Structure 1
Amino acid sequence: MDVPAPQSVTVVTHHDVSVVTLAGDMDLDHVDALRAVLPQVCSGVGAPARVVIDLGRLTFCDSTGLNALLQARLMCVASGRTLALSRPGPQVARLLSITGADTLFEVAEPGELPPDGAQPSAPSP
């Protein structure tokens, strides 16, 4: 029996970029943690001008998770920030492609992520 990966959302700010790392599943049951951090990261006073959402540890994303990503994009645009997705896995890339959302997001190269915290060693619940 497969045990789902623990879901976590971690935010690391490094100079001019905030990296939001998602791990586990991003679906109806797990999207609230992401939604909780988006206002501060995407439109908070003093937040960096660039936001990268690292999807490399995301195991599953449904339409609810996609909607949260689209909301993040709108918040960033409204506050003059840029948003990029990084390391989408095959399932997430397919979801973005099927829905046409892939044309709305910039995809950041892994080298654009801060080396000291973009991928925490232990996910936080």
Structure 2
Amino acid sequence: MRRTVPVAGNLDYENADAFVAEVERLLAERPETTRLHLDCTELTFCDSTGLSALLLIRRLTEAAGIELYLDNRPPVLDRMLGLTGTFDHLVAAAGTPESAGGGRDESLNSPPLSTYSRQGALRQGPGGAAE
């Protein structure tokens, strides 16, 4: 089963730990997840702690047999991945989103996600609730 998690704003030292904890919680609630897509469309900044969080999520998903995809990466994230030599590890390991095939996407049925800081790591919906 495919699961999509929207990521927005800054992924940095202020919210990286909470972001990882929330992803862990979501995966624990849905052990049938086989593909995790982090939709980075609205990600505006990622520092070294944010990169560390992505690497930790990669290790967690790999250990659980879940394919991880970083979808709609902004140039700032691709640049960070390129400069640190982690692009192939985080992006090429699972292939492209198109290679993920079909499958049910549980993104619309995902529970609301917490807001992690003023700038957030997850997109906020109406009324301040994360989408």
Give 1:58's match in structure 2, choosing from 43, 54, 67: 43
- Unaligned 5+ segments in structure 2 are 111-122
Flag the 1:46–1:115 CA change in 2: closer, same or farther, 3 A.
Answer: closer
Distance apart, 1:116 and its partner CA: 6.7
- In 2, the alpha carbon distance for the partners of 1:44 and 1:92 equals 28
Secondary structure of 1:19's counterpart equals strand
- In 2, the alpha carbon distance for the partners of 1:116 and 1:75 equals 19
Q: Give matches, 1:1-125, under 5 Å.
A: 16-42=1-27, 46-106=31-91, 107-108=96-97, 114=105, 117=108, 122=125, 124=129
The Cα offsets for residues 7-61 of structure 1, whole Å up to 9 and x where unpaired, read as xxxxxxxxx1111111111110122331122223456562411101111100100
- Unaligned 5+ segments in structure 1 are 1-15
- In 2, the alpha carbon distance for the partners of 1:61 and 1:121 equals 18
- In 1, the alpha carbon distance for the partners of 2:124 and 2:14 equals 24
- In 2, the alpha carbon distance for the partners of 1:115 and 1:48 equals 9
TM superposition score normalised by structure 1: 0.71
- Percent identity of equivalent pairs: 30
Distance apart, 1:84 and its partner CA: 0.8
Secondary structure of 2:81's counterpart equals helix
TM superposition score normalised by structure 2: 0.68
For these two proteins, the number of residue pairs brought into alignment is 108
Task: Kindly indicate whether the alpha-carbon contact (under 8 Å) linking 1:43 and 1:79 is maintained by their aligned counterparts in 2.
Answer: no
- In 2, the alpha carbon distance for the partners of 1:121 and 1:63 equals 23
Comparing 93-102 with 40-49, greater Cα deviation is found at 40-49
Secondary structure of 2:68's counterpart equals strand
The answer to which structure has the higher helix fraction is: 2
